[in-house]
Amino acid sequence: MAIRLRQRLLPEGGAGDKIFPPTFAGGTYCWEQRRIDGKSVPCVLLDSVSSQANRLEEALVELAATGLIELPRLVSRFDGELEDIGEICTLAAPHRVFDAIFRDSNTSNGKPFSKSELYKQLATANVRNATALFGSSPSALLFGCWDSTGAAGGGGNRFARAVTSEIVGIDAEWGSTQGGVRQCPLRVSAEAEIAIDPQGDWSLVGKSAVGKKERAKGTRPSEVNHGSILLKVEQGTRQTVDSNGAVQSQRLPLKGGVTVDYALQTTVVSLTALRRLRFPVASKGDPDHAARVALAALSLVAITAGRERGYWLRSRCGLVADGLQELEILNADGSSSTLKVDRASALTAYEDAVAKAKKAGLPWSAKPVVLRPQQKLVDLVRKSRQIQSLGG
């Protein structure tokens, strides 16, 4: 059983406009062949499952910040010289509720969070008892988390994603680029030689006495962002499968963008995954059902709020809906039915589900649990900034 959304998307510039996927190691895009309508079709990843999760979490944080929803979460609050960091909550930290940022923070009474009762409850949580997670960070049960830095190390408990979403470009064609030159308005010559001191400042030495290949690191104006920059064209291998099933290879420019027939966002809320979770509390009601309904409602809030935020993925990769597809409910027998829901109705359903979860005796931290970074964490960030400022 699941809730599913299959939303067709088009470039903001219209059908056929070039869009730019994310790049991975080596500056490559993530290409693959997918079976669509019985045919092998070249596709390219436009937004990964992890990236989509982050966008849905951002949508939830926005709603919580404006007071539209109650959303239990941990928050580590930085101030003083690290005030620019602000707050990092469990919906922004890489490992969510089990992130080292929270482990290395203190509670309001100045004691290490890792020694608190809540931390102990979180560390011992599992699919048979996810009550503590539900009460302090329910979103982690939707988007997945792993206690990889706790007492058990890599053997810590894991919670698989119950919500997955990705955006893929369908029937994608490689774009092309010829590179170019970023012209310096000051006409700074590449033959000028500079010296960079240990503090990262630079001074002029004069004209270089050696050729380009002999130039030492830290002597070029381009290393302090002066002068014209040559934008190189790197080549990659495109592989396609022909009608006979043979793989064909072709060398083409990397980072040239793509054109697609359309993009497809596929979002799934696995109700089967939620049914694996247990929430034992002293209650005469059915806390398991109440918690699962609240989690499903929270997922609908995230999905509908995410749709309202739009599909700007990165520079030159903005997408718009090609019509508005409805969500579906998938039943155990394979049948499906339409689920008509928008952000307003999802918010109402979530508020009602939370009220019933509380009535069933489930814990619920309506206000964030605020932590403060320990001094060693502050020192680590400060030292890292010093190293980076020196180019280390």
- Is 237 contained in some domain? no
Of the pLDDT bands very low, low, confident and very high (cuts 50, 70, 90), residue 205 is confident
Residue spans of alpha helices (H) in 48-99: 49-65
| Cα–Cα separations (whole angstroms), residue 33 to 11, 22, 176 | 21, 17, 20
Q: What is the pLDDT of residue 252?
A: 62
| Residue 320 and residue 184 share a domain | no
Look-up: residue for tokens 């497809």? Answer: 264
Of the pLDDT bands very low, low, confident and very high (cuts 50, 70, 90), residue 386 is confident
**Stretch 117-134: mean pLDDT, rounded?**
94
Of 158, 156, 150, 123, nearest to 277 (Cα)? 158
| Residue 374 and residue 294 share a domain | yes
CA distance 82 to 68: 29
Q: What is the pLDDT of residue 256?
A: 77
| Residue 67 and residue 135 share a domain | yes
Q: Could you tell me which residue, 210 or 326, shows the higher pLDDT?
A: 326
Go through the chain and tell me how many residues it has. 392
Q: Taking each helix axis as running N to C, give the angle between helix 343-359 and helix 287-309, from 0 to 180 degrees, rounded to the nearest 10.
A: 160
| Residue 227 and residue 344 share a domain | no
Last residue of a domain, one of 193, 209, 231: 231
Q: What is the pLDDT of residue 178?
A: 57
Rounded to two decimals, the pTM is 0.85
Bridge-based pairing of strands 74-77 and 369-373 is parallel
| Residue 333 and residue 287 share a domain | yes
Share of the chain above pLDDT 70, in %: 89
Lowest mean pLDDT among 194-203, 235-244, 274-283: 235-244
| Residue 185 and residue 165 share a domain | no
Per-residue pLDDT reduced to its tens digit, 78-113: 999 999 999 999 999 999 999 999 999 999 999 999
| Residue 99 and residue 14 share a domain | yes
If one counts every other C-beta atom within 10 angstroms of the C-beta of residue 197, the result is: 10
Residue 210 DSSP one-character state? S
Total number of domains in the chain: 2
| Residue 303 and residue 263 share a domain | yes
Q: By residue range, what is the domain housing residue 225?
A: 180-231
Lowest mean pLDDT among 211-220, 302-311, 361-370: 211-220
Four-residue CA torsion sign, 364, 133, 348, 306: positive
Of the pLDDT bands very low, low, confident and very high (cuts 50, 70, 90), residue 186 is confident
| Residue 193 and residue 155 share a domain | no
Average pLDDT taken over every residue of the chain: 89
- Is 345 contained in some domain? yes
| Residue 381 and residue 311 share a domain | yes
User: What 3-state DSSP class applies to 215?
Assistant: coil
- Is 158 contained in some domain? yes
**How many helices (H) and strands (E) in the chain?**
9, 23
Q: What is the pLDDT of residue 147?
A: 86
Q: Could you tell me which residue, 225 or 46, shows the higher pLDDT?
A: 46
Per-residue pLDDT reduced to its tens digit, 153-179: 556 688 999 999 999 999 998 876 655
Q: How many CA atoms lie within 13 A of 339 on its CB side?
A: 23
CA distance 91 to 75: 9
| Residue 161 and residue 47 share a domain | yes
